[in-house]
Amino acid sequence: MRSRGSWKIRIFIGLAIVAFAFIQRCNNKEENPYTGRVQTINMTAEQEIAIGLQSRPEMAQQHGGLYPDERMQALVDAVGNRLVNNSIARETPYKYEFHLLADDRTINAFALPGGQCFITYALFSQLNEDQLAGVLGHEIGHVIGRHSAERIAESSFWQTLTMGASVGGDMGGLVQGIGQNKLLTNGRGDELESDDLGVLFMIQSGYDPYQMIEVMKILKAAAGPNRVPEFQSTHPDPENRIERIKESIEKYQGSTR
C-alpha cells in the first residue's frame, strides 16, 4: 500500500509540475510589435541588451578577438548602420553594434540578444558590400525577431516539462526528445524569418537583395558535401533558403528577374 501511495504522490507532483510549465508558458505569451508574431518570451528588451553586452567580450575572444584593420571595421559599421537607419530596426529599443572578428578560418556570423552582431573575417573576406548587407540584415532580423530570447524561454519550458514527466511517470526521455525536435524545427523557422527580414532591410536600404542568394551559395560551398542533414540542424538547407529568399524578394519588391 505504501508503494502504491508513493506512486500516486509522484503522479500528482509530476502533473503539478507539468501544469505549472503550461501556465507559465501561457503567461509569457506576447506579440512581437515588429514582426506581429506571438512568441513565448520571459525577459524584457532591457534584459536582452544586458545579456548581449555581458556576453560580447567572451564571444569575441572565442574568435580571436576583433579584426585589427579599422578600415574594414568601419565598412562593417557603415553597412550595419545603414540597414538599421533605413528599416524598422531604428524604432526598436535595441543597441546595435557590429563587430568584425579576427577568426580567418570559421565562416560564420551571429547575433546576441539586444543588438550585438558579429561576422568573422573568414566570411567577410568572401563578400562584396551587398552580400555583407545580406549577412548583417539577417543578423539584425534575429535581434528584432527576439529569437535568442524565445529559444531561452522555450528551452526552460521543455526542461520543466521533462522534469514533470520524469517525476510523474518515467517519461522524461520521451518528452526531452520531443522538445529537442521542436527546438530544432523552431530554429529553422528563425533562420527563414531572418532571411525574410534581411531581404526587406536590403531593399529598404538600397542594396541588391539577389546578393543574399549568392551568400547562400557561399555558405553551401563552405559546408561541403558532408554538411549535417536539414532535419538534424537548426539551419535549413541552403537550397531551401534560396527558394524562400526568392519568394521574399518577389513579395517585397514586386518584380521578378
Domain assignment present for residue 22? The answer is: yes
Tell whether 3 is covered by a domain.
no
Domain for residue 42, yes or no? Answer: yes
* pLDDT tens by residue, 50-93: 989 999 999 999 999 999 999 999 999 999 999 999 999 999 99
Q: How many whole angstroms separate alpha carbon 93 and alpha carbon 3?
A: 55
pLDDT of residue 205: 97
Q: Categorize the per-residue pLDDT at 203 as very low, low, confident or very high, splitting at 50, 70 and 90.
A: very high
pTM over 0.85: no
Residue 1 lies in a domain: no
Of the candidates 241, 186, 235, the residue with the CA atom closest to the CA atom of residue 215: 241
Report d(CA 213, CA 239) in Å as an integer.
9
Candidate from 18-32, 143-157, 158-172 with smallest mean pLDDT: 158-172
The owner of cell 517525476 is 167
Q: What is the DSSP string of 31-48?
A: E-TTT--EEE--S-HHHH
For residue 4, being part of any structural domain is answered with no
The domain of 146 spans 10-253
Number of domains in the chain: 1
Residue 111 to residue 193: CA distance in whole angstroms:
14
The full DSSP string for 133-199 is: HHHHHHHHHHHHTTHHHHHHHHHHHHHHHHHHHHHHHS-HHHHHHHHHHHHHHHHHHHHHHHHHHHH
Name the DSSP letter for residue 228. P
Quick check: 92 and 149 in contact, CB under 8 A?
no
Region 147-158 average pLDDT: 74
The residues facing 37 across adjacent strands are none
For the chain, the average pLDDT equals: 81
Measured distance CA(248)–CA(107) in Å, rounded? 24
Backbone angles phi, psi at 120, to 5 degrees: -80, 155
Q: Are 157 and 20 in contact (CB under 8 A)?
A: no
Give the pLDDT confidence score for residue 178 in this predicted structure.
39
